Amino acid sequence: MQVLSIRFCAISPEADNLVEFLGLGLGMPCVEKNLVESDPDSPKGGIFAAGDGSWIEVWKDGPQMPPGIMLQVVVDDADEMFETAKAYGLSPRGPMVSHGEKVYSIVAPGGLVMTFQSKQR
Using CA atoms, how far apart are residues 43 and 64, in angstroms rounded to an integer?
Answer: 9
Quick one: pLDDT band at residue 91, thresholds 50, 70, 90? very high
pTM of the predicted model, to two decimals?
A: 0.79
Using CA atoms, how far apart are residues 87 and 75, in angstroms rounded to an integer?
Answer: 18
Domain coverage including residue 96:
3-119
pLDDT reported for residue 42: 60
Asked whether the predicted pLDDT for residue 35 surpasses 70, the reply is: no
- Tell me the longest C-alpha to C-alpha distance in the chain: 45
Using CA atoms, how far apart are residues 1 and 44, in angstroms rounded to an integer?
Answer: 34
CATH number, domain of 94, equals 3.10.180.10
Quick one: pLDDT band at residue 83, thresholds 50, 70, 90? very high
Backbone angles phi, psi at 115, to 5 degrees: -125, 155
N residues, the chain: 121
Number of domains comprising the chain: 1
| For the ranges 5-14, 31-40, 57-66, the one whose mean pLDDT is highest | 5-14
pLDDT reported for residue 64: 74
pLDDT digits (tens, 9 = 90+) for 96-120: 998 899 999 999 998 999 999 999 8
Residues whose CB is less than 8 angstroms from the CB of residue 25 and which lie 6 or more positions away in sequence, other chains included: none
Residues whose CB is less than 8 angstroms from the CB of residue 40 and which lie 6 or more positions away in sequence, other chains included: none
* 69, 115 contact by CB (below 8 A): no
